[in-house]
């Protein structure tokens, strides 16, 4: 067994270190309080109140937004950390370098849970698909239009950059937000706790492997992730230990929450739901070969909850959350060496266990009876059309070479008028992020082809940053304005 010392993973080191590192636990906690303040006061967190969880543009405040969902995840994450420390003996905590770190771990996990969805575009996962499909359809032609006729075609010498642009991912965008766009300068430990997947977007997707099944970060944040990993004794391609807890908290929270929102909107009633949960749980228990006697548990929980319909989900949540949290904490401890090194290639709650049967039951009921409901599908298609339409409107900013785009940004008289109007609508923080990347690039290279490739790459990022940062309502309003719809 290798030495495990969580004090190396829970550190107050930052990308820009302007103060001495903490010498004791109290100083360390204060630095994580600083992280907490930076995160809670960030615009990205405020925008979550108008971003979709399941139902876009929802006016019923009882139905979850990304913000209310993230707050629930936050509480479950805190509960898992508390359970881990309650389960570990004082001697075990000492052996793992965890003594005195409970409050620091709670804070890091809570804030990771609060941030875990900040990179998601408007209209949820359909928004991600809309962005990726639009770029897949248009990027090959845009590359031709933006290329200098006297130079090699853009990306011809670096096709991996095109692969990166074609893989917009909410998790990777979260890393880009906290580092490049919002410039929060969080501790490396806090930022690493939201690094759910570990694959660089320029790399092809492997045939197997859980940690790299999705993109974790973009080329634009590659240097930052490398510095983060070096400072936290992490190998590239490995996770931070606390990201496993954040992921488990999300899995526990959203499964039941999406179903509860469907009941709130009248898409399914409690009698139907109780039967679906009991039947589906029986199927999962049998599929995992856990013993048929366990199948009665879900029926017991739902019958108990039905006695007080107005308290149905409170009762059901209490019944389900405790075994799930206990199992997640147990899995963290049982696999602590692999988790410490970030090499456990699975989620804590995906192990064909009793707890896994519960979460899979909830996910399956949501997939088959909520997400495919005509009302949900209608809203998703509307969101898809809005995002695709917005990208169509801003397409001209990509369909030009760098010299013309620079003329647009600097408002030169020779610049095309429509493009200047479009550029004026881009937020200053996004433009500033783009310009900083280009200025740094100009200082580090004299290779014109390399500069042209990366300039266009960062310009594509600029547009993806803008569209993905919109709230559902802002995207809807902007679409109507640009399409001249009353």
Backbone torsions φ then ψ of 365, nearest 5 degrees = -60, -40
Residue 118 has, within 13 A of its CA and on its CB side, a CA count of: 26
Q: Indicate the helix (H) or strand (E) that contains 199.
A: strand 199-200
pLDDT for res 1: 55
Q: In whole angstroms, what is the distance from residue 28 CA to residue 18 CA?
A: 15
Predicted confidence band of residue 258 (pLDDT cuts 50, 70, 90): confident
pLDDT for res 425: 95
pLDDT for res 220: 98
Q: Indicate the helix (H) or strand (E) that contains 321.
A: helix 312-334
If one compares 261 and 347, the residue with the highest pLDDT of the two is: 347
Could you report the per-residue pLDDT of 215-255, keeping only the tens digit for each? 999 999 999 999 999 999 999 999 999 999 999 999 999 88
User: Please, are residues 167 and 108 in contact by the beta-carbon 8 Å criterion?
Assistant: no
Mean pLDDT score of the chain: 93
User: Please, are residues 155 and 219 in contact by the beta-carbon 8 Å criterion?
Assistant: no
User: Please, are residues 158 and 165 in contact by the beta-carbon 8 Å criterion?
Assistant: no
User: Please, are residues 161 and 454 in contact by the beta-carbon 8 Å criterion?
Assistant: yes
Q: In whole angstroms, what is the distance from residue 255 CA to residue 33 CA?
A: 30
pLDDT for res 198: 96
User: Please, are residues 402 and 449 in contact by the beta-carbon 8 Å criterion?
Assistant: no
Percentage with pLDDT > 90 across the chain: 81
Could you report the per-residue pLDDT of 64-92, keeping only the tens digit for each? 889 999 999 999 999 999 999 999 999 99
pLDDT for res 137: 97
DSSP string covering 396-444: GGTSS-HHHHHHHHTT-TTS-HHHHHHHHTS-HHHHHHHHHHHHHHHHH
Look at residues 468, 276, 239 and name the one whose alpha carbon lies nearest to residue 362. Answer: 276
Mapped onto helix, strand or coil, the DSSP state of residue 238 is: coil
If one compares 342 and 56, the residue with the highest pLDDT of the two is: 342
Could you report the per-residue pLDDT of 167-200, keeping only the tens digit for each? 999 999 999 999 999 999 999 999 999 999 999 9
User: Please, are residues 298 and 285 in contact by the beta-carbon 8 Å criterion?
Assistant: no
Whether 486 has a pLDDT exceeding 70, the answer reads no
Could you report the per-residue pLDDT of 426-464, keeping only the tens digit for each? 999 999 999 999 999 999 988 899 999 999 999 999 999
Determine whether 267 is exposed, middle or buried from the number of CB atoms within 10 Å of its CB (0-12, 13-18, 19+): middle
pLDDT for res 369: 87
Whether 476 has a pLDDT exceeding 70, the answer reads yes
Whether 62 has a pLDDT exceeding 80, the answer reads no
Beta strands per DSSP E along 214-268: 215-217
Could you report the per-residue pLDDT of 13-59, keeping only the tens digit for each? 999 988 888 888 999 999 999 999 999 999 999 999 988 777 777 77
Whether 371 has a pLDDT exceeding 60, the answer reads yes
pLDDT for res 22: 80
Radius of gyration of the chain (CA): 24
The tokens for 206 are 């492997």
Q: What is the pTM of this model?
A: 0.94
Look at residues 176, 134, 65 and name the one whose alpha carbon lies nearest to residue 471. Answer: 65
pLDDT for res 278: 94
Task: Name 217's bridge partners.
Answer: 200
């Amino acid at each position: 067994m290798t030495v495990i010392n969580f004090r190396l993973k829970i550190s107050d080191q930052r990308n820009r270190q302007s103060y001495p590192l903490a010498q004791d636990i109290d100083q360390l906690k204060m630095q994580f309080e600083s992280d907490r303040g930076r995160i809670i006061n960030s615009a990205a967190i405020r925008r979550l109140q108008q971003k979709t969880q399941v139902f876009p543009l929802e006016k019923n405040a009882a139905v979850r937004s990304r913000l209310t969902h993230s707050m629930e995840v936050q509480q479950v994450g805190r509960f898992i950390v508390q359970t881990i420390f309650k389960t570990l003996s004082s001697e075990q905590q000492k052996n793992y370098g965890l003594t005195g770190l409970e409050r620091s771990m709670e804070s890091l996990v809570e804030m990771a849970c609060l941030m875990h969805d900040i990179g998601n575009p408007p209209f949820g996962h359909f928004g991600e698909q809309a962005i990726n499909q639009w770029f897949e359809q248009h990027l090959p032609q845009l590359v031709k239009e933006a290329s200098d006729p006297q130079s090699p075609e853009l990306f011809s010498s670096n096709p991996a950059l095109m692969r990166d642009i074609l893989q917009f991912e909410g998790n990777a965008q979260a890393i880009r937000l906290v580092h490049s766009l919002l410039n929060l300068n969080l501790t490396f430990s806090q930022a690493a706790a939201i690094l759910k997947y570990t694959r660089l977007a320029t790399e092809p997707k492997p045939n197997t492997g859980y940690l790299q099944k999705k993109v974790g970060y973009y080329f634009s944040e590659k240097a930052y992730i490398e510095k983060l990993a070096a400072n936290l004794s992490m190998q590239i391609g490995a996770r931070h230990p606390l990201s496993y807890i954040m992921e488990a908290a999300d899995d526990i929270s959203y499964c039941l929450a999406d179903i509860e929102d469907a009941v709130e909107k009248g898409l399914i009633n409690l009698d139907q739901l109780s039967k679906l949960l009991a039947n589906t749980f029986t199927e999962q228990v049998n599929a995992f070969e856990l013993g048929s006697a366990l199948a009665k548990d879900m029926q017991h929980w739902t019958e108990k909850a039905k006695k007080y319909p107005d308290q149905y989900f409170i009762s059901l949540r209490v019944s389900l959350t405790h075994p799930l949290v206990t199992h997640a904490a147990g899995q963290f401890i049982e696999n602590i060496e692999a988790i410490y090194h970030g090499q456990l290639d699975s989620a804590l709650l995906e192990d064909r266990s009793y707890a896994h049967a519960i979460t899979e039951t909830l996910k399956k009921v949501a997939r088959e009876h909520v997400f495919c409901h005509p009302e949900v599908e209608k809203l998703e298609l509307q969101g898809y059309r809005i995002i695709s339409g917005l990208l169509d409107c801003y397409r001209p900013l990509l369909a030009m070479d760098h010299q013309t785009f620079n003329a647009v940004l600097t408002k030169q008289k020779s610049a095309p008028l429509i493009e200047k109007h479009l550029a004026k609508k881009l937020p200053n923080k996004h433009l500033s992020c783009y310009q900083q990347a280009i200025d740094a690039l100009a200082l580090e290279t004299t290779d014109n082809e390399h500069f042209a490739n990366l300039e266009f790459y960062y310009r594509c990022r600029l547009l993806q940053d803008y569209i993905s940062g919109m709230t559902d309502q802002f995207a809807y309003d902007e679409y109507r304005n640009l399409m001249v719809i009353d």
